[in-house]
Structure 1
Amino acid sequence: MITLGLTGSIGMGKSTVAAMFRDEGVPVFDADEAVHQLQGPGGRIVSAIEAMFPGTTGPEGVDRPALRAQVFGDQAAFARLESIMHPAVGEERETFLARHAGAALVVLDVPLLFETGGDAGVDRVAVVSAPPDVQRRRTLARPGMTAARFEEILARQMPDAAKRARADFVIPTGGSLDETRAAVRDVIACLEALAGG
């Protein structure tokens, strides 16, 4: 099995690219989706988050705006949250890999792959990238997104140029969907050839 780490900064189109890999029959582990399940109703880390950040959970699981208010701009609080999140997401990833042990290729969709050292645990890395103006426009179009929050998120992420420099593949998303899909298919073909050879 070849594990491909898929990453990219906010607003780069990573979710769209992950869906394209799925459309091509490649199993995809979505770290963000794992977080939503872990933090959702009955999620297994909800009680740990409530214990560390009182008043941030309820019947629907984690109240994301309330949690964001407690960690926004506070690096120590954010580090405490990550100390709960990262191990739990890691366990979900291991379960996914075991379930797809027979696959020739799997994608691990991890937004902070480089920032968390996750690139050391994959065989190859693909970075999804778009021009800065496209990234900003996409991100600020999200519900509840503000320019200040966008800048805070960017500050926690490795710059796009640095990610591209460390990647085995760069998948551009600034053009048409057909161009992006062609790039995804090229990556799959390259990795399948590698697996076969």
Structure 2
Amino acid sequence: MTGMSANTDQRPHIIGLTGSIGMGKSTVAAMFAEAGIPVFDADAEVHRLQKNDANIIAAIETAFPGTTDDKGVDRAKLSQAVLGNKEAIKRLEAIIHPAVGMSRMRFLEDNRNAPVVLFDIPLLFEKGGADNVDSVVTVSAPADVQRERVLARPSMTHEKLAHILGLQLPDEEKRARSDYIINTGTTLQETRQDVRNLIAKLQQSLADEQD
């Protein structure tokens, strides 16, 4: 982890925000955005590409026939087409990841003067992305809280949850490999204050490095 390394190339300090399913990562990302930190949401960008990018839609239809329609990619059908199939997932990632990478580069260019930006990346550790950020923040909550949140989602089952968790690094290991941890097993007010405290700490550290 590079932690608070000096920002010698004049780009923003990049926070990598991650966390397992149901941990409240999207809520925490929104709190960073509310506090004025530019946020790149990888999942949201994938959704946008699958809905609006004609080249991406065509490539997915070619690789997985019947998974698109006139509204773009049918995410439920695509999920069924790749669920549990590692080779299919790799084919899909080969289509999506380069496009998301280009979007991320444009985001960095658009926010090049910001002192801090945040990349919201669910599989930050699993896909090796932790090496490309300056500090990692993991969002975490107790396992029983996590399960309750996830199983309350429409169409979610115990089996599906088990499969998803099997694809993700255990929460304990994510926390051990992170620079900072945001606890979402508390109230929203407490979590929001933790986010604000972390932003202040990062900003102070960056200011100290520039002195």
TM-score range, shorter-chain basis?
Answer: over 0.9
Alignment of 1:146-157 (within 5 A): 146-157=157-168
Which secondary structure state, in structure 1, belongs to the residue aligned with residue 156 of structure 2?
coil
Alpha-carbon offset, residue 130 of structure 1: 0.4
TM-score, reference length from structure 1: 0.97
Structure 1 partner of 2:101: 90
1:33 is aligned, of 44, 58, 63, to 44
The C-alpha deviation readout for 1:80-110, integer Å capped at 9, x for no partner, is 1111121111111111111000000001000
TM-score, reference length from structure 2: 0.91
The C-alpha deviation readout for 1:155-184, integer Å capped at 9, x for no partner, is 111000000000000000001011101110
- 2:95 and 2:50 map into 1 onto residues whose CA distance is 11
1:161 is aligned, of 172, 180, 184, to 172
Which secondary structure state, in structure 2, belongs to the residue aligned with residue 40 of structure 1?
helix
Letter in 2 for 1:54: P
Alpha-carbon offset, residue 43 of structure 1: 4.7
2:123 is aligned, of 109, 112, 116, to 112
1:70 is aligned, of 55, 66, 81, to 81
Letter in 2 for 1:116: K
- 1:41 and 1:92 map into 2 onto residues whose CA distance is 13
Same amino acid, percent of matched pairs? 54
Regions of 4+ moved over 6 Å: none
Larger radius of gyration: 2
Q: Does 1:187 align with 2:194?
A: no
Which secondary structure state, in structure 2, belongs to the residue aligned with residue 3 of structure 1?
strand
Which secondary structure state, in structure 2, belongs to the residue aligned with residue 12 of structure 1?
coil
- 2:70 and 2:174 map into 1 onto residues whose CA distance is 38
- 1:43 and 1:25 map into 2 onto residues whose CA distance is 32
Which secondary structure state, in structure 2, belongs to the residue aligned with residue 29 of structure 1?
strand
In angstroms, what is the RMSD of aligned CA positions? 1.0
Structure 2 partner of 1:145: 156
Larger CA deviation: 85-94 vs 156-165? 85-94
Query: Is the contact made by 1:31 and 1:108 (CA closer than 8 Å) also made in structure 2?
Result: yes
Distance 1:180 1:77, change over 3 A: same
Structure 1 partner of 2:59: 48
The C-alpha deviation readout for 1:121-166, integer Å capped at 9, x for no partner, is 1000000000011111111111222221111111111000000000
- 1:179 and 1:115 map into 2 onto residues whose CA distance is 29
The C-alpha deviation readout for 1:63-83, integer Å capped at 9, x for no partner, is 111111111111111111111
Structure 2 partner of 1:129: 140
Structure 1 partner of 2:68: 57
Letter in 1 for 2:57: V
Q: Does 1:173 align with 2:161?
A: no
Alpha-carbon offset, residue 42 of structure 1: 4.1
* Structure 1: runs of 5+ lacking an equivalent: none
Count of aligned pairs:
197
- 1:79 and 1:151 map into 2 onto residues whose CA distance is 20
Alpha-carbon offset, residue 120 of structure 1: 0.6
